[in-house]
Structure 1
Amino acid sequence: MIPAKLSKLVRGVAKLAAPPPDLTVSEWADAYRRLSPEASAEPGQWRTSRAPFQKDVMDAINDPQVQNIVMMFSAQVGKTEILLNAIGYFVDHDPAPIMLVQPTEQMAEAFSKDRLAPMIRDTPTLGKKIRDVKSKSSGNTLMHKKFPGGHITLAGSNAPASLASRPIRVVLLDEVDRYPASAGTEGDPVNLVSKRTTTFWNRKRIMVSTPTTKYASRIEFAYEESSMEQWCLPCPSCGEYQPFSWKQIHFEYDEEARITIKVDHACRTCGALHGEHEWKAGIGKWIARKENAKTRGFHLNEMASTFVSWKEIVHNFKEAVKGGKEMLKTWTNTALGETWEETGEKLDDEELYKRREDYGHEVDVPDSAVLLTAGIDTQDDRLEIEVVGWGAGKESWGIQYHTIHGKPDHPDTWLQLDAFLERKWLREDGSGVIIAAACIDSGGHHTTEVYKYCVKREHRRIYAIKGEGGPGKPIIIGSSRKNREKCLLIRVGVDAGKERITSNLQLEEEAPGYCHFPIAADKGYSQKYFKGLTSERKALRFTRGKPRYEWIKTTARNEPFDLRNYAVAALEIIQPIFEQALRTGAAPAPSSAKKPVSKKKYVKKQNIW
């Protein structure tokens, strides 16, 4: 017989040497994962039953036949928590080299600090395996963490060096529709990082995103090449399994009180109407629309969420409709988990011309416009200028479209511009208002003249800009002084500005973003102006087999469209001043650091030509 102490020791050694229990990702999460108070309204032990649609998605990771998992998800359905559970599972139960890629390095750093670190801290089994970054002996950093049998690296899709180094078995790609088209000059970041998994027979690639624009959405492409599964629930009346569809939603909404009264979902088979609680009382399941052994794809919209109600979704829809096309696009992406299809329709210049308004007798600026900006374009024989007024919700009023005839290399042309930009514009209340900021395009043949003019007038918020096309770039990209004149040059994402302007011009009733134009003949808003304002449309083009939207001209002259874009950029540059103006009703005037001088002395002193 084996002595009792020896028997106990043998059992202890056997327990230590035994392989871990065979768990799936969801089972691991139910057993070990703790939700952190910073990231969850319900901190404490994770429960997959709280959102049952997450179970099969997580457990697909454990299927040895499945290499790729695609999640085209709306907001509010826990997609980030699924990624965190996958990380926890591989760290604790199936060690491997892991990489998580965010759209940018800054977002990767934020994910590490705000989501990953709290999970490690509050999940004891992970805290034992990943040492704190602050520990001197940990060897861990914000973007790279070691654990027994593996490591996890966090990276931005815009950093090619971090995407193409060491082999990785598990790749987690978050918000792939926000990735740039190319990681530097290295090519598509998804393909770049995916190549790092090729040496592993048991590799996994998990792609997650809310979709963006149709034909240009990475996650939609990946989903359509997958099993294309939908979360379905049985109709309470006939039992027919089906996904929730916005087309089948029926609601009553009190427009005055802005409250959703009632929401029902119609069965696509029998037509019966049932409320949210009746539908969600059923037991759901994922139903595939295609067979695909290696890639499982899941689509889920916000109506399936256990964290947001149908009444809230309807309310958000009504608010998005009021907010215009861009807000409706965002709602479609984030609530329905669907791509937005750009129609590419050309705006009707004649309809815009017909809706011009009378601002009032001898009035330049309606009282609702609290601030003015200007956009300026240089041509070989003239300067084109538009002054735009701005109010609450970035509602806009065209104030003046003006042409200064004269070559940009002649001093008098710029003196005329100075006089125009320094004038006061009459309000309805009798007061005068000046231009708060202006942007001048530095492209074309007169870059040096623009730099020389602007560098001496930055104290008046007159800025040189350079437009950059391409999707995904914000209206204000950045700035530099890398030119001989040391002029502040602001880089402007013109496509983002064109998107906003086009969306706002499509508004037919007064709302945030609505565009007003004066009917007065001396303001410059002729039929020619509106043809130029509607001179471009968005069209789908294919470059090297890849779809992308581009802005194309439909008429020869597009200066009005460009000038409105530059006026928008000026507003974005001085956003804090605009917000102050909305609070106080008047914007502070640009500072004047120098005493006025005569034209003759001014030209000599500034030496700009």
Structure 2
Amino acid sequence: MPAERNLSEENVKETLHAAILESLQVFEPPEKLTVSQWADKYRMLSKEETSRPGMWDTSSVLYMKFIMDTFSDETIREIVLLKSTQIGGSECMINMVGYTIDQKPSRIYYVLPDDDLCIKFSDNRLKRMFRSNKEVFAGKVNMKSDAKFLKFKGGFVAVASARSPSELASWSVPIVLLDEIDKYPVWSGNEASPIKLAEERTKNWPVAKIVKISTPTLKTGAIYKAYESTDVKYQYEMPCPHCGKPITFKFSQIKWPKNEYGEADTTVVQYQAYYECEHCHGRIDDRHKLQILKQGHWVPVNKVQGRPRSVGFQLNSIYSPWLTFGTIAVEFLTSKDDPEMLMNFVNSWLGEPWEDKAAAMDSDAVQDRMTELPEGMVPHWAQLITGGVDVQKNGFYWTIRAWGYRLTSQNIAHGWAESFEEIEAIMNKMWPDEEGELRWQVNLCAMDSGYDTEDVYDFCLMNAEWCVPVKGITSQMIGRFRRSSIDAVGKQYHGQALYIINGDSYKDMIASRLRRPIGKGCWMVYDGSDIDYAEQITSEHKVATVKNGRRMESWVPKTAHAQNHYLDSEVYAACAADLLQVRYLDEKKETADVQPGVGSRPQEGKETNFIDIGEGWLK
């Protein structure tokens, strides 16, 4: 009996001891981890979240480790990441949210550009993280919370829209995460900017964190200005696998093979592009990339006295372990000839702000693009010619331009006409080639219908085989033009095609090609072209404006009384070329035996398929 009693007492003591230890665990402080350590230890990625499910592995995106860990540094108040798309920025912020909920519960504002994104982000990103990591967040996160107000023990995540000032002014919080801030509405004067409103929420907290992440747009954009104002800026350096000297990935060091004409085959470039070390000129291939990324580290490019309060980082797509040098080179080659696509490449692939040099263009840029051909002569490389007419109160400004492969173009004539009859004669005139043979005629003319509208519609209807009405718009529009129809019941031109033109897009194209050297792809003028024409072509510049809470880049006259009629005429001529599918022209073969009539508008009485160019370009 005594032995049994002693055994029973011993079991009670063990049970009591275990219960005491379990109770004390409630008061045990959480293990001290950085954000990257927390993510590596606890964050599981599901198939719903990524194409590479499994445990989060910071070593696969090692450039994100130091950025995430600055969030754990209480001396750093502001973190700015200027980045390309798909580099891991949003995942980095999601890790910060998970770390806060699990390690240091507190209030969080997560701000996105608009309300629709808020709902999608909460349901598809945050809640999926909670579901994929139930062992971490079970009992902490209230999964029944509203999508825009996720409650957890010790705090909440308010997912707020940058378009709702009331949402941004609702709570006092120590943590503000601002995602894609260059897509936020800009300050209009009625309310404080959304970024400022969100930042104001932290001012009563002695230890606070503000994180700003975005793909840049312009140098005037919010993310670039935030990056420039940081105390310390860092760059990610890696050792060259050949010479060991530190390198940072720059697009200028990606090289690819070219043919004897300096052109590149994208199929070849995709697999043969490589990175060249700026020090030893050694060839760094894709097989070296992951190795040197893992050996890299962030290095400050400037120093500040004392402890920095704000830090800035910049990352481009070359750092992505999932993109090859060839993929990036091909993206550039397919984007470089289109200003909009090139801007996207600079912003979304290089993580750099777009700097439009068009505002600095002056008449010299046009005068410097004079060829040796005289006025009225069509170049040998031309495949079609188009006209553009800007209608004024007392007459018409007109232009005629030749077009060839890769949007190579040259003005062959321009001027002023006083009547529709004179315009008709000019556009039906035969123009000589370089051998002096009269074999060219305007294929298509686009005429402005913004003034004297009914007469323009009548004229275009009567000359529908070579002339179409167009109308420019000042609001932003996707694409260069769209087909509409004239709504004028009872008029003979009712239902006639009318083309709505995005003038800014064509002015972008003209400005971009004016910067090219004379030759293939350049926007050129004839020898002796007058200064008035040059000044009108460069009479506008592109400036940032705000409309309906959105930042827009628009072309406007440089001065209040600047004349821009020839510029508008060239916009219309470019649209006419697009209607003829100029962007799909093949390179013209140079032959001694040129077929007569090629490139000219068919004459009356001859069989033709002109209207059917491109299988219905007027449809």
- Superposition TM-score, scaled by structure 2 size: 0.67
Identity of aligned residues (%): 25
Could you say which residue in structure 1 is the equivalent of 2:278? 266
Q: Larger deviation: 151-160 or 289-298?
A: 151-160
Could you say which residue in structure 2 is the equivalent of 1:297? 312
* Corresponding residue to 1:561 among 560, 567, 574: 567
Query: 1:395-414, aligned counterparts within 5 Å?
Result: 405=418
1:119: Cα distance to partner?
Answer: 3.4
Could you say which residue in structure 1 is the equivalent of 2:155? 150
Counterpart of 2:614, as a letter, is A
Deviation sequence 1:547-569 (CA, Å, 0-9, x none) = x9985538942112234456778
Counterpart of 1:302, as a letter, is S
Deviation sequence 1:191-219 (CA, Å, 0-9, x none) = 22211221222221111123343465632
Three-state SS of the structure 2 residue aligned to 1:28 is: helix
Separation (CA, whole Å) in 2 of partners of 1:86 and 1:384? 60
Separation (CA, whole Å) in 2 of partners of 1:461 and 1:185? 43
Separation (CA, whole Å) in 1 of partners of 2:510 and 2:137? 49
Query: 1:65-80, aligned counterparts within 5 Å?
Result: 65-80=75-90
Could you say which residue in structure 1 is the equivalent of 2:129? 119
* Corresponding residue to 1:188 among 174, 189, 193: 193
* Corresponding residue to 1:354 among 353, 365, 371: 371
1:82: Cα distance to partner?
Answer: 0.8
**Distance change >3 Å, CA 284–CA 550, structure 1 → 2:** same
* Corresponding residue to 2:284 among 270, 275, 289: 275
* Corresponding residue to 2:39 among 29, 34, 49: 29
**Distance change >3 Å, CA 393–CA 75, structure 1 → 2:** farther
Query: 1:53-72, aligned counterparts within 5 Å?
Result: 53-72=63-82
1:392: Cα distance to partner?
Answer: 9.2
**Distance change >3 Å, CA 87–CA 386, structure 1 → 2:** farther
1:586: Cα distance to partner?
Answer: 3.1
1:155: Cα distance to partner?
Answer: 4.0
Three-state SS of the structure 2 residue aligned to 1:201 is: coil
Query: 1:509-524, aligned counterparts within 5 Å?
Result: 515=523
Deviation sequence 1:412-470 (CA, Å, 0-9, x none) = x8x999x99x99x99x99999777x87645xxxx7xx769999xx99x996765525xx
Structure 2 residue 44 is matched with structure 1 residue 51 = no
Q: Larger deviation: 224-233 or 338-347?
A: 338-347
**Distance change >3 Å, CA 351–CA 245, structure 1 → 2:** closer
Three-state SS of the structure 1 residue aligned to 2:257 is: strand
Could you say which residue in structure 1 is the equivalent of 2:361? 345
Separation (CA, whole Å) in 1 of partners of 2:172 and 2:481? 34
**Distance change >3 Å, CA 281–CA 198, structure 1 → 2:** closer
Three-state SS of the structure 2 residue aligned to 1:561 is: helix
Deviation sequence 1:525-579 (CA, Å, 0-9, x none) = 97654442233345899xxxxxx9985538942112234456778999x99x999
Could you say which residue in structure 2 is the equivalent of 1:586? 614
Check whether the contact 2:176–2:199 (CA below 8 A) recurs between aligned residues: yes
Counterpart of 2:213, as a letter, is V
1:70: Cα distance to partner?
Answer: 1.0
Q: Larger deviation: 198-207 or 377-386?
A: 377-386
Check whether the contact 1:217–1:339 (CA below 8 A) recurs between aligned residues: no
Three-state SS of the structure 2 residue aligned to 1:41 is: coil
Could you say which residue in structure 2 is the equivalent of 1:535? 539
Three-state SS of the structure 2 residue aligned to 1:306 is: coil
Higher gyration radius (CA): 2
Separation (CA, whole Å) in 2 of partners of 1:552 and 1:126? 58
Check whether the contact 2:339–2:508 (CA below 8 A) recurs between aligned residues: no
Three-state SS of the structure 1 residue aligned to 2:298 is: strand
Could you say which residue in structure 1 is the equivalent of 2:435? none
Could you say which residue in structure 2 is the equivalent of 1:603? none
Separation (CA, whole Å) in 1 of partners of 2:501 and 2:89? 33
Check whether the contact 1:70–1:223 (CA below 8 A) recurs between aligned residues: no
1:341: Cα distance to partner?
Answer: 3.9
Could you say which residue in structure 1 is the equivalent of 2:485? none
Separation (CA, whole Å) in 2 of partners of 1:571 and 1:198? 57
Structure 2 residue 172 is matched with structure 1 residue 167 = yes
Q: Unmatched 5+ residue regions in structure 1?
A: 133-137, 407-412, 479-484, 542-547, 592-609
Considering only aligned residues, what root-mean-square deviation do their CA atoms show, in Å?
5.4
**Distance change >3 Å, CA 588–CA 117, structure 1 → 2:** farther
Separation (CA, whole Å) in 2 of partners of 1:585 and 1:38? 47
Check whether the contact 1:450–1:464 (CA below 8 A) recurs between aligned residues: no
Counterpart of 2:371, as a letter, is K
Query: 1:481-492, aligned counterparts within 5 Å?
Result: none
**Distance change >3 Å, CA 152–CA 67, structure 1 → 2:** same
Separation (CA, whole Å) in 1 of partners of 2:448 and 2:439? 28
1:188: Cα distance to partner?
Answer: 3.1
* Corresponding residue to 1:500 among 498, 509, 514: 509
Aligned length: 538
Separation (CA, whole Å) in 2 of partners of 1:396 and 1:128? 68
1:253: Cα distance to partner?
Answer: 1.8
Separation (CA, whole Å) in 2 of partners of 1:156 and 1:508? 46
Separation (CA, whole Å) in 2 of partners of 1:325 and 1:246? 18
1:47: Cα distance to partner?
Answer: 0.3
Deviation sequence 1:266-320 (CA, Å, 0-9, x none) = 33xxx46362528707622222222352112222333333222334334444444
Separation (CA, whole Å) in 2 of partners of 1:391 and 1:113? 51
Q: Unmatched 5+ residue regions in structure 2?
A: 1-8, 432-437, 462-466, 483-488, 490-497, 546-552, 587-611
* Corresponding residue to 1:381 among 394, 419, 426: 394
Separation (CA, whole Å) in 2 of partners of 1:357 and 1:89? 71
Counterpart of 2:156, as a letter, is H
Three-state SS of the structure 2 residue aligned to 1:82 is: helix
Structure 2 residue 243 is matched with structure 1 residue 226 = no
1:163: Cα distance to partner?
Answer: 3.1
Check whether the contact 2:151–2:157 (CA below 8 A) recurs between aligned residues: yes
Deviation sequence 1:25-67 (CA, Å, 0-9, x none) = 1122112223344553322211001121211110110111111
Query: 1:467-478, aligned counterparts within 5 Å?
Result: 467=474
Check whether the contact 2:390–2:566 (CA below 8 A) recurs between aligned residues: no
Q: Larger deviation: 393-402 or 39-48?
A: 393-402
**Distance change >3 Å, CA 450–CA 307, structure 1 → 2:** same
**Distance change >3 Å, CA 385–CA 272, structure 1 → 2:** closer
Counterpart of 2:30, as a letter, is P
**Distance change >3 Å, CA 75–CA 579, structure 1 → 2:** same
Q: Larger deviation: 561-570 or 254-263?
A: 561-570
**Distance change >3 Å, CA 127–CA 73, structure 1 → 2:** farther
Could you say which residue in structure 2 is the equivalent of 1:101? 111
Check whether the contact 1:438–1:570 (CA below 8 A) recurs between aligned residues: no
Query: 1:327-476, aligned counterparts within 5 Å?
Result: 327-343=341-357, 344-346=360-362, 348-354=365-371, 379-382=392-395, 384=397, 405=418, 440-441=449-450, 466-467=473-474
**Distance change >3 Å, CA 205–CA 564, structure 1 → 2:** farther
Counterpart of 1:50, as a letter, is S
Separation (CA, whole Å) in 1 of partners of 2:567 and 2:156? 51
Counterpart of 1:283, as a letter, is Q
**Distance change >3 Å, CA 34–CA 323, structure 1 → 2:** farther
Check whether the contact 1:474–1:492 (CA below 8 A) recurs between aligned residues: no
Separation (CA, whole Å) in 1 of partners of 2:170 and 2:66? 32
Q: Larger deviation: 60-69 or 276-285?
A: 276-285
Counterpart of 1:339, as a letter, is P
1:229: Cα distance to partner?
Answer: 1.2
